[in-house]
Structure formats: structure tokens, C-alpha cells
Amino acid sequence: MNIYDSEKIITILENKGLKQNEDIENADLIVFNTCNIRDKAAHKLYSDIGRVNKYKKEKTIAVVGCVAQAESYEMFNKNKSIDIILGPQSYHLLPQMIDDLKLKPKQVNTDFIINEKFDYLAEQKRKQGISSYLTIQEGCDKFCSFCVVPYTRGPEYSRPLQSLVDEVSSLTENGAREIVLLGQNVNAFNISHNGRKITIADLIEEISKNKNVKRIRYTTSHPINMRDDLIKLHSTNDKLMPFLHLPVQSGSSKILKKMNRKYDTDFYLKIIDKLKAVNPEIEISSDFIIGYPGETESDFKQTLDLVDKIKFTQSFSFIYSSRPGTKSALEIDKTPLHIKKERLSILQEKLKDIQFEFNKNFIRKNVDVLIENQSSSNPEYFFGRTPFMQSVYIKAQKITPGEVKTVNILTCNHKNLYASC
Ligand code: SF4
């Protein structure tokens, strides 16, 4: 989501006549797009601002995103060099705020004007890669006890159908061949169109009609929003890839209840069974939070058991990070950090082994890869992804980015596949 937002911010500023400059020293404006999901990310922001302060003379510093939303005016007290503070649901106002600095030296906007933002963004043509993100939904009503998103991104909001279909046309005209639908709760997408209720399954069917779209993915899904129409689509829609990021967070129903995830492990396993029943090929990835307050050895063992059962082929795992303002920040956390680190390392080793075993299955097999780009440093190499999101590096004389190429896998490690054609 933040990558998508950063791309949008660049487009907005370019349309205002600014040019992107990677060289901080020569930039007139420095924009920090921030994430508040973990403590470390928020801290990093202040050390990064300190790092660019030495170039500060005549520069404007804008902080946008979720840290800006959460800390708002308080940021000016923490660092005097910040000029603009702007929440994630109003970043389309950035050009105006830059102009307004002439009238008032410190600018802040943390309003939730999400529909206005998307109306504005729809008019901003943007160029993306072969695989392009499309935000269809933002915000969250779930209030997991550890998470700041409902406070920083606001309630669930789904974009109107026509603006999404138009944006897909614009992306494919600019070369996109894979559309990755984005949302904090992407499968909670839900709108009314001409008196009809439209779900994410309907939207995927609609986008599939665009003949230039070769692949569709969606992320991040919540298990309780895995409706039957969406599950069924994994057997009937060829453009929908057989790979799903479905965060479980923990394998212990006791911890899931404390997290307010609104499902237990049985419910989660039933969803996986349903998906495998309609499409046995489907692979799952997940997020895990290790060391949530109250997690015992037995709870952790249940997480390892679940991993063994489902064999997640890719995952993100982190030690629990307490965030101010969330319910879990008030919980007493007795587990020492070194135990949490040990558990994380055990889990990550297991996940890595599973991923490596999965990748090994592809050696000496042919697999369809959507070619995303050619290496600029070594033009003999191309990069693409399999239907299961594995990264593939291909040695070839000539392939055109955007085509789906069948390649023979020669070797692999746990992260990548290597091929020739
Ligand atoms: S579902 Fe839970 S973890 Fe996901 S954004 Fe909402 S509150 Fe956060």
C-alpha cells in the first residue's frame, strides 16, 4: 500500500511540475511516506529526518502517511525542521499545502477525506510497471487489538466500480499486464452499482474482461471476508492466480481471541480446505506475530503445527510490537525478548525450509512466467514471476517484458528460481 501511495504522490507532484530527484542534496522538497505498523518504522523516521537535516537550508520537509496521521502536531515538537504533516487519506492536498507554506510556515492536514482523494487521484494518469497495483479498498473496521490501521486509515471504504475499470484501462494502455488489487481488507470490497451489490469476486470478473490483463492478484485478505463467491472464482477464472496471502497471525485460538481476529484456527483451516477443494494447486502465504502478550510455549507450538499443516510457501513474520493507542498496548507482556527472538528464529527457519522445498519441486519443470523487466546491468537476464509469486531470473537472448513465457527451471534457492529459455 505504501509503495502504491508513494507512486501516487510522485505522480501528483510531477503533474504539479516537479521532477523526481534521488539526490537529496539537490532536492527542494523531501517527502517521507511513513508506516506506523511497528515501533521501529516510526523511530526510523526521526533518525532519517535527522540525517537529511544537514541539507535542510531552503528545503521543504513533508511527512505523509500513518505516522503523520497518528502523531499529527506533536511531530513539530519532536523535530522543528518538519514543514508539512499530512495523513494518508488526504495526500492529494500536498501540492496545495506546498503553495500555502508561503502564507503559513507550518501546514497540517489529517482529515479522512478518502472519497475526495480517490476522485482526485482518478484524474492523475500514472505510469507503472508490467505488474501494477490498484487500490480498490482502504481502511479497516476490524480493530485487531494490536493494530493501528483503523485509527490511521479510518473506516473501510471501497472505490466506485467505474473509476476502477477506467484505472485498469489506463494502466494497461501504459503496459500493465498484471493487476494487483490492494486494500487493508481487500476482500471486504463491497459497493452498490446500479442497485446491485458488487463484491471483489464481481470486480475481478469485470477486470478480467480487459483483454490486456493477463493476471490478477489481490492482497491483503482477512479470513472472515473469504466469501464463497471469491473462493469459487479460484476454480473458474483463469486470470486469477492460484496464490493467496491470507494472514493467520497465530496458530493458537486462544491468542487469536486475544488479538480480536474474529476467527479461530478451525475456521481458518476450513477456509483453506474450501480453497483447496475448488483448486488443489492453490498456495497460501501468511503473516505471523510472534510473542503476542500471553503467548506461551504451547501457543507457539500450535503456530508451528499450523505451519506444518498448511505449508505456507511465503510469509512475513515479526516479533509483536506494542503500538500506542491500541488495546494490546495495555496488556502485561511477561515474555522476555530473548524468548521471543528464539521463537521467531525457529519459525523463520521452518518457513524458509518449506519455501525451499516448494521451490525445489520446480527444478527441471516448465513454468509460465510473466516477464516484468530486463536487467539494466546485465541485459542477458530477465526477471519475472510464476503464478505462485516466485521470483525467476531467466537467461535469454530476447524476451519482451509483458509476455508470459514458458521457461525451464534449472536451479533455485529458498528465495528465487533460475531458468533459461
Ligand atoms: S484486519 Fe486487523 S491487522 Fe488488518 S488492518 Fe484491520 S485491524 Fe489491522
What lies within 8 Å, CB to CB, of 299 at 6+ separation is 250, 251, 252, 254, 255
Q: Indicate whether residue 144 lines ligand 1 (CB < 6 A).
A: yes
Cα(189)–Cα(201) distance, integer angstroms: 9
Superfamily in which the 366-420 domain is placed by CATH: Nucleic acid-binding proteins (2.40.50.140)
For the chain, counts of helices (H) and of strands (E): 14, 19
Residue 32: what pLDDT?
96
Contact (Cβ atoms closer than 8 angstroms) between residue 91 and residue 121: no
Of the ranges 35-39, 145-149, 211-215, which one carries the lowest mean pLDDT score? 35-39
**Number of the ligand 1 atom closest to the C-alpha atom of 147:** 8
Residue 116: what pLDDT?
79
Residue 124: what pLDDT?
66
Q: What is the average pLDDT across 346-366?
A: 98
pLDDT tens-digit map of 64-117:
999 999 999 999 999 999 999 999 988 899 999 999 999 999 999 998 887 777
Q: How far is the CA of 286 from the centre of ligand 1 (A)?
A: 13
**Number of the ligand 1 atom closest to the C-alpha atom of 261:** 2
More confident residue, 123 or 94: 94
Q: What is the average pLDDT across 183-195?
A: 95
Q: Whose CA is nearest to atom 4 of ligand 1?
A: 184
Put the strands of the sheet holding 215-219 in their side by side order: 131-135, 178-182, 215-219
Query: 40 pLDDT band (50/70/90 cuts)?
Result: confident
Q: How far is the CA of 229 from the centre of ligand 1 (A)?
A: 22
Question: How does DSSP classify residue 176?
Answer: -
Q: 138 forms bridges with which residues in the sheet?
A: 157
**Number of the ligand 1 atom closest to the C-alpha atom of 260:** 2
Cα(39)–Cα(323) distance, integer angstroms: 7
Q: Indicate whether residue 185 lines ligand 1 (CB < 6 A).
A: yes
Contact (Cβ atoms closer than 8 angstroms) between residue 66 and residue 144: no
Q: How far is the CA of 149 from the centre of ligand 1 (A)?
A: 6
Cα(189)–Cα(87) distance, integer angstroms: 22
Q: How crowded is residue 273: how many other Cβ atoms within 10 Å of its Cβ?
A: 9
Q: Indicate whether residue 147 lines ligand 1 (CB < 6 A).
A: yes
Residue 311 predicted with pLDDT over 90: yes
Percent of the chain with pLDDT over 70: 98
Cα(108)–Cα(85) distance, integer angstroms: 5
pLDDT tens-digit map of 357-383:
999 999 999 999 999 999 888 889 999
Q: Is 343 helix (H, G, I), strand (E, B) or coil?
A: helix
pTM of the model as a whole: 0.91
Q: How crowded is residue 406: how many other Cβ atoms within 10 Å of its Cβ?
A: 10
Q: What is the average pLDDT across 159-171?
A: 94
Superfamily in which the 2-111 domain is placed by CATH: Methylthiotransferase, N-terminal domain (3.40.50.12160)
What lies within 8 Å, CB to CB, of 77 at 6+ separation is none
The three cell numbers of residue 182 are 490492494
Side chain identity, residue 53: N
Q: Indicate whether residue 142 lines ligand 1 (CB < 6 A).
A: yes
From 145, 149, 249, give the residue whose CB has the most ligand 1 atoms within 8 Å, as the site to mutate: 149
Q: What is the average pLDDT across 204-231?
A: 98
Residue 119: what pLDDT?
76
Residue 188: what pLDDT?
97
Contact (Cβ atoms closer than 8 angstroms) between residue 312 and residue 245: no
Query: 351 pLDDT band (50/70/90 cuts)?
Result: very high
Q: What is the average pLDDT across 226-244?
A: 98
Cα(264)–Cα(251) distance, integer angstroms: 8
Q: How far is the CA of 61 from the centre of ligand 1 (A)?
A: 30
Mean of pLDDT over the chain:
94
Residue 127 predicted with pLDDT over 70: no
Residue 121: what pLDDT?
74
Helix-strand-coil split of the chain, %, nearest 5:
40, 25, 40
Residue 395 predicted with pLDDT over 90: yes
Cα(52)–Cα(105) distance, integer angstroms: 19
Residue 83: what pLDDT?
95
Of 420, 40, 419, 387, nearest to 215 by C-alpha is 387
Q: Indicate whether residue 140 lines ligand 1 (CB < 6 A).
A: yes
Of how many residues is the chain composed?
Answer: 421
Tell me whether domains 2-111 and 366-420 share a fold.
no
Side chain identity, residue 96: Q
Residue 125: what pLDDT?
64
Question: How does DSSP classify residue 270?
Answer: H
**Number of the ligand 1 atom closest to the C-alpha atom of 148:** 8
- Map out the domains of the chain as residue ranges: 2-111, 115-359, 366-420
Q: Whose CA is nearest to atom 1 of ligand 1?
A: 142
CATH for the 115-359 domain, from 3.10.180.10, 3.30.2320.80, 3.40.50.720, 3.80.30.20? 3.80.30.20
Q: Is 6 helix (H, G, I), strand (E, B) or coil?
A: helix
Residue 56: what pLDDT?
66
Q: Whose CA is nearest to atom 2 of ligand 1?
A: 144
Q: 178 forms bridges with which residues in the sheet?
A: 131, 215
**Number of the ligand 1 atom closest to the C-alpha atom of 140:** 6
Cα(214)–Cα(208) distance, integer angstroms: 8
